[in-house]
Structure 1
């Protein structure tokens, strides 16, 4: 009798646990992305001219601000209509049209003959973004991968300036630059061109992290990882200057450069790519977590080390960096974000079609790594991940390896955005 009672209690506990556990909810999905064109004829003309080739528009990065969900579309190939876009987060359409930000003009590589603005009820032709190899508007966005919204309602965009990346002749249309917008006015605040001395032969800037001290918008710093040349560029908003930091921990791990995603086997040697900001103290100090994409190890460095140019560039700074731990076999990750409320670090797991987590109050070991969700269809190559101010995690998956090495099926849903509450997702995992 006691044994039966024990089993009933155990069964009840399992049912209670399962009732509280949750998975990511699919919010949006696309077979191919399209845009909010000014008119049907404008889209038809863009397709006819080759300026818009639907199959070449792959969404990669995302960010959330109020009712806007920003989505980036890098110019991997020709025919990308707009690189920086947004949709309404409350859209009832499961496959909404992307709206270029801050405008069509800013995302155009040449005069497309249309604009969202009107004059006297007629469409007015925009000025081209590119004229004789020069930017005609500092708010122009050529090609961006990752973006970040800070606590001061500013959108920071790392523009690579590179188009047709996978083509036989990639075009460096503009120099890599950090482009900052005021989201309340949609106006450009600043465009900071990365100095030539920070750019090496294999340089590739695909991410940006923004560190803002409490009540100190003007004292913000941006950390820009160089995944190809294994360094991090630190930018000071206040002084409008930057410095390039190097460390052995920024390199890829040759043991962990092999991937199997969506039926595609490939090898990458991408270095430092993902960064996350830990909990901030009253003095503004915090831990900066980071890892290379082709690695399973997590590292950290205090933010005040990176922000002190003299210290960051000195040989003594080598010992300011720490090994946090190892995620274990097939633990490669493209993106991570620290949730201050739960003190949990959430990250993508590209080889596992999933999203992982680690409670920062526990040792960083494989046993303490949790899986929040895994899906061999909806989470094939989770590429970017953010946590908004309400504790919601947002994930964008895009089947990137199939896009690069094979061909996506236009009759299948290839791109998805999923969401869920961090507090609910960690229930029943080692991160609880």
Structure 2
């Protein structure tokens, strides 16, 4: 794999480490239609016939998870008999489970002020109590219920408000001084505060702003209350919830940033990452609240189409549970989950070390190997093998005159040879040569004086005698030589590239007088 593709792969891997995507979610259940667990089949047949129940109108709006149970509040249409239901987080059956009214069929009923009429916002506190916000009816004011999930689902009506309708979402603030609920009232420019210990509620005005979505920062003080504007895409914050708990009647939320769409649901996990689902948007985005506001992609399902396609909640272990709703496709409903935390929304130090080591192994190391191969290839091109033609071993030095060296000859009457050996070197007493194929030089190759390498010079000296002339500039010049007592000199042509003649004796033949003479040279 090339370093380029390794780098692309590692960048993709790091982006997956920064944000949980579709591949990180596992699907638990899917439904094309949601139905209740009815007391009897006769009851189901009756409501379907008189259309007091229409399965296509089941629309989960709010969600809470505790242990092995998922609690949902359904949007209240006239043909939805129960708005608070429960699902298991797993099932031994291959069929998706049905909705079970919670805590029972009898505890749900519209128009009865002592029953759960229209369940809205849901939260579970640290002691296992499910808080249910009930928006009431024409006859009954809004109220809050608690259901003890640890003690046999004991249900308690803890507070009735002085108004009705339009209370829709809440968050819980558990402090050493008591438990408080911050509640949104989407038709008024205020926040409702409820104290469990005092069983009192009051309103805190937010001049000019009506909020629809609400979330609370982790438990470290000061806790921030995040609020999404009902009329715009703007996100606001109240810097400290202590001012709300102390009985203040007016708050001035601070503008944090602006989303790409109008949020219908927001949530902050224990690591300070805010998730946001939007009206008529098929994606979920997030923002790390410890950094300046910057919206980042988290999850996307291109096939969804509904007013608020997602609702989600965290369980005690930090696992994110999410239901998606698609009006015009199948499956219509999907239950998903994904582990959300520091390692899924932000790159962890351990993962950073792994990525750095992977970059070194996949990018830097192959680059060094490639560089080494390139240098080796260039070095091989500069140093030729021994079986190449002599013309490849010759070099032309246009600015340097040829240098001639005088060579003595033996009794056989050999002529003087002219050679450029570059530097002074001694003669060998016995010369062996390789077989070299004769290749005629180009006529225009030797416009400058010919210079032989030391290796070529030794080979030319070892060649047998054969007359030859240069085609372009005639006979090679002869250097003056001195006569010795062997005999008069005879001219001998310079052989620059001649194949060996095996018909003549080799110089290593001790019967040759020339070979005997060569052995006694210094």
Fold-level match, TM-score > 0.5?
A: yes
Q: Note closer, same or farther for the CA distance 1:8–1:34 as it changes in structure 2 (3 Å cut).
A: closer
Quote the offset at 1:379 in angstroms: 7.1
Q: Does 1:233 align with 2:169?
A: no
Bigger CA radius of gyration: 2
Query: 1:122 aligns to what?
Result: none
Query: 1:278 aligns to what?
Result: 217
Does the aligned pair in 2 maintain the 1:385–1:393 contact within 8 Å?
yes
Q: Does 1:211 align with 2:140?
A: no
Structure 1 residues 279-301: Cα deviation after superposition (integer angstroms, max 9, x where no partner): 223xx541111112442221111
Match of 2:8 among 8, 11, 26: 11
Q: Does 1:313 align with 2:231?
A: no
User: Which has the larger share of strand?
Assistant: 1
Q: Note closer, same or farther for the CA distance 1:26–1:350 as it changes in structure 2 (3 Å cut).
A: farther
Query: 2:345 aligns to what?
Result: 426
Quote the offset at 1:152 in angstroms: 1.7
Q: Does 1:177 align with 2:177?
A: no
User: SS of the counterpart of 2:60?
Assistant: coil
Quote the offset at 1:248 in angstroms: 3.0
TM-score (norm. length: structure 2): 0.60
TM-score (norm. length: structure 1): 0.72
Q: Does 1:354 align with 2:354?
A: no
Q: Note closer, same or farther for the CA distance 1:93–1:243 as it changes in structure 2 (3 Å cut).
A: farther
How many residues are paired up? 340
Query: 1:391 aligns to what?
Result: 318
CA RMSD of aligned residues (A): 2.7
Structure 1 residues 107-139: Cα deviation after superposition (integer angstroms, max 9, x where no partner): 134xxxxxxxxxxxxxxxxxxxx5xxx53xx3x
Q: Does 1:369 align with 2:295?
A: yes
Structure 1 gap ranges (5+) = 110-129, 163-171, 252-271, 400-407
Q: Note closer, same or farther for the CA distance 1:249–1:376 as it changes in structure 2 (3 Å cut).
A: farther
Provide the C-alpha distance between the structure 1 equivalents of 2:95 and 2:72, rounded to a whole number of angstroms: 15
Does the aligned pair in 1 maintain the 2:158–2:199 contact within 8 Å?
no
Structure 2 gap ranges (5+) = 353-522
Does the aligned pair in 2 maintain the 1:33–1:57 contact within 8 Å?
yes
Provide the C-alpha distance between the structure 1 equivalents of 2:50 and 2:158, rounded to a whole number of angstroms: 30
Provide the C-alpha distance between the structure 1 equivalents of 2:57 and 2:4, rounded to a whole number of angstroms: 56
Does the aligned pair in 2 maintain the 1:161–1:174 contact within 8 Å?
yes
Provide the C-alpha distance between the structure 1 equivalents of 2:321 and 2:254, rounded to a whole number of angstroms: 28
User: SS of the counterpart of 1:62?
Assistant: strand
Query: 1:142 aligns to what?
Result: 117
Q: Note closer, same or farther for the CA distance 1:99–1:93 as it changes in structure 2 (3 Å cut).
A: farther
Quote the offset at 1:378 in angstroms: 4.5
Query: 2:100 aligns to what?
Result: 99
Greater RCO structure (CA 8 Å; 6+ sep): 1
Query: 1:303 aligns to what?
Result: 241
Quote the offset at 1:145 in angstroms: 2.5
Q: Note closer, same or farther for the CA distance 1:229–1:44 as it changes in structure 2 (3 Å cut).
A: same
Q: Note closer, same or farther for the CA distance 1:12–1:53 as it changes in structure 2 (3 Å cut).
A: closer
Provide the C-alpha distance between the structure 2 equivalents of 1:60 and 1:93, rounded to a whole number of angstroms: 26
Provide the C-alpha distance between the structure 2 equivalents of 1:30 and 1:5, rounded to a whole number of angstroms: 45
Q: Note closer, same or farther for the CA distance 1:288–1:249 as it changes in structure 2 (3 Å cut).
A: farther
Does the aligned pair in 2 maintain the 1:355–1:373 contact within 8 Å?
yes
Match of 1:247 among 200, 206, 219: 206
Quote the offset at 1:346 in angstroms: 1.3
Query: 1:154 aligns to what?
Result: 129
Runs of 4+ in 1 over 6 A off after TM superposition: none
Structure 1 residues 366-423: Cα deviation after superposition (integer angstroms, max 9, x where no partner): xx21111111225753342222222222223335xxxxxxxx55x7333333221223
